[in-house]
Amino acid sequence: MYSKERPFDRSGFASLDDLDALPWQHIYSKLENYQQRFLDNEDKFRSPSYIWPSAPLQKWSRVWEYPYVAYHVDRWQATNLLTKNLSIVDLGSGVTFFPLWLASEGYQVSAVDNDPIGIRDYPLACSALNVPQENLKFHLSDANNLPFDDNSVDCVFSISVLEHIPKPHSVIDEIFRVLKPNGLFILTIDVSLDGVHEITSGPFLDLQEALVRHFSPVFPESCVHPMRILTTLNSPFPYLFSKLDPIRSFARIIRRYARGMPTDCPRRLACYGFVGYPREA
């Protein structure tokens, strides 16, 4: 059952009601402050060729996804009385504030991405933000061949990545391989509601089957009223655009257009979250 006191204690679709709940507001504010530090120092590490949003926290579903992941990482660490010296993999990290924030909190973070820009930018970002270099390592890799041994990682999370991979169920297999038996997997993805974009209802159900095959959900699925589901047609616009730099945003759109990439946000997407422990092999 949905609880405004603990809105993230579930798997399922993101709700607009989550953005009114105190836990979301507290986490979002903390992440927003750190992202601002990241942006204030961006000129010290940002490669000119970087084309993805440097302020992703305000990119529509990210206002929910980042707090959802942050909440579950901290909850898992606190509930299990674990030290923060935990190995955490950010699968499909790009170069954003979030791995740096986790590393600044004391976690041992591995940022994994197939964009080599992270090789240069992450060490410089660590220096600019006073994050211990040993707390954040970048790995140039694709999601189907993670550079980690079997049963070697405490936690893996992936934020809006698997919907862009042709066979996401194979990535689920790989995540299961590298996680420790008592590890944690946190997934957020965008799901197409109109059949136009990458993960539609059929592939989404296949992905859910792969998740349940390998992972035991920490929380049951929670239903959200259709009118309250967070979608691109029903977005929290004050959160999305209040902090964006319009000049930087316009320049980013021009760069994306020049590379033949989409310049706007898809219209009909919803955001789904899942939290699970590995099942016994």
Indicate the average pLDDT of the chain: 85
Strand partners, 91: 112
Cα Dmax for the chain: 51
Predicted local confidence at residue 84, as pLDDT:
73
The residue with greater pLDDT, 164 or 70, is 70
pLDDT digits 0-9 by tens, 72-121: 999 998 887 677 789 999 999 999 999 999 999 999 999 999 999 999 99
What are the structure tokens assigned to 278, written together? 């590995």
Predicted local confidence at residue 26, as pLDDT:
95
CB atoms within 10 A of CB 150: 10
Predicted local confidence at residue 243, as pLDDT:
37
Region class of 195: left (phi > 0), else alpha (psi between -120 and 50), else beta: left
Q: pLDDT grade, residue 27 (50/70/90)?
A: very high
CB 79 within 8 A of CB 71: no
Q: Provide DSSP, 161-199.
A: -GGGSS-HHHHHHHHHHHEEEEEEEEEEEEEESSS-SSS
pLDDT digits 0-9 by tens, 121-168: 999 999 999 999 999 999 999 999 999 999 999 999 999 998 888 788
Domains of the chain (ranges; CATH) run 12-278 (3.40.50.150)
CB 114 within 8 A of CB 142: yes
Predicted local confidence at residue 236, as pLDDT:
54
Among 56-65, 72-81, 177-186, the range with the most confident prediction by mean pLDDT is 177-186
Mean pLDDT of 14-43: 94
Closest C-alpha among 79, 129, 88 to residue 106: 88
Q: pLDDT grade, residue 41 (50/70/90)?
A: very high
Q: pLDDT grade, residue 171 (50/70/90)?
A: very high
Q: pLDDT grade, residue 264 (50/70/90)?
A: very low
